[in-house]
A = this chain, B = another copy of it.
């Protein structure tokens, strides 16, 4: 039997060795090997744009980098040294913002696509896929009775989850900002890659990470609903204010009933960026017995409409209630140049005045994915390890 199979396979080999052939609108030919990351932390780009008069790359440096036309008519550029990071960049060809024709790695944010380039080193090595055990990433639909809607979310289960029928895991709920959706933390935030790498290094507890859609008026990211491929504009109507937070228990209930979770406060975390930081802030405030770890990344904490904190008893009372049995970690991170810096400063003063404990991480930079990825790598190792 074994011999027979071997013969069979040997004879059948030839259908494997088809010549390359063209398919519909397909391109087997590599345009340019570009970008190339060089050993000295620069990157070299080549773009064929024979008729262009001006080509530049945006997103790598503070100002766009102008490319130069070489003798063959190609546009080339070797960048200055770039700090280790994951960069999202685009190409400007005579005033048209587009993606790099030689780079198929893109991420969508709101209504635009950008290319991805990873300059290795430091934290950036956590953003690159490595040869480590990988968790699963699933797009899952859950029923939200509060919103009377079936809704899409991204769920990361760590390597090994599928191999057991018994082992239970803690859960992190990870919330996006106003321009995002259930794809954002995994695409631009590289959440599953960061988790895989930090778990493999033994620095982070294996956990389930749930990334829902924070826009209560949409079932899913653009292109994944019956609305079809509408153009996302990132705007949220006032009518939905509070709706997502009030429906949040639908998500927790779904997760606790469909995944092997440790369903208690000590094994449940919530964190988010910007609007999702505001969501995390309010959801943890409204549900003081549910979340033992809270992360506020560039968070839109309660806003008085003009840039400060609206400090009244109806804020102080629930805060004191939340901290009567405090979370194991209440973590605030923000960049010095963030437009929400003053708001967060006001909020910290309020916490200080009321003797409410928290940890504070102040970084350089502003309201950026670069900061949010970085905050995630700092926040994750702190989870589910007690006080």
Contacts and interface: CB of A to CB of B under 8 A. Distances in A.
Contacts of A150: 133-134
A94 B95 contact: no
A159 B143 CA distance: 11
Contacts of A366: 24
Interface in A341-387: 366-370
A302 to B, nearest CB: 5
A16 interface: yes
Nearest to A75: B96
Interface string A82-119: 00000011100111111101111110111111101010
Contacts of A8: 285-286, 314, 318
A41 interface: no
A358 B332 CA distance: 65
Copies of this chain in its oligomeric complex: 2
A25 B226 contact: no
A323 interface: no
A185 to B, nearest CB: 14
Interface stretch (A166-174, A202-210, A234-242): A234-242
A140 B136 CA distance: 5
B102 A231 contact: yes
A21 B136 contact: no
A31 B111 contact: yes
A12 interface: yes
B110 A12 contact: no
A18 interface: yes
A13 B302 CA distance: 8
Nearest to A130: B226
A193 B180 CA distance: 22
B97 A241 contact: no
A interface bracket (residues with beta carbon within 8 Å of B): 35 or more
Interface in A299-333: 300-305, 310, 312, 314-315, 318
A384 to B, nearest CB: 23
Given A9-B246, A94-B94, A140-B136, A232 B302 contact: no
A231 B129 contact: no
Given A31-B111, A111-B29, A228 B118 contact: yes
Given A12-B302, A245-B9, A367-B23, A106 B113 contact: yes
Contacts of A30: 111, 231, 233
Given A224-B129, A367-B23, A7 B314 contact: yes
A129 B95 contact: no
A215 to B, nearest CB: 11
A178 B128 CA distance: 26
Contacts of A9: 242, 245-246, 282, 286
B314 A24 contact: no
25 contacts: A8-B285, A8-B318, A15-B301, A15-B303, A17-B305, A18-B278, A25-B88, A28-B110, A28-B111, A28-B179, A28-B235, A29-B233, A49-B94, A50-B95, A93-B93, A93-B94, A98-B99, A99-B99, A105-B223, A105-B229, A118-B228, A129-B225, A129-B228, A137-B139, A138-B138
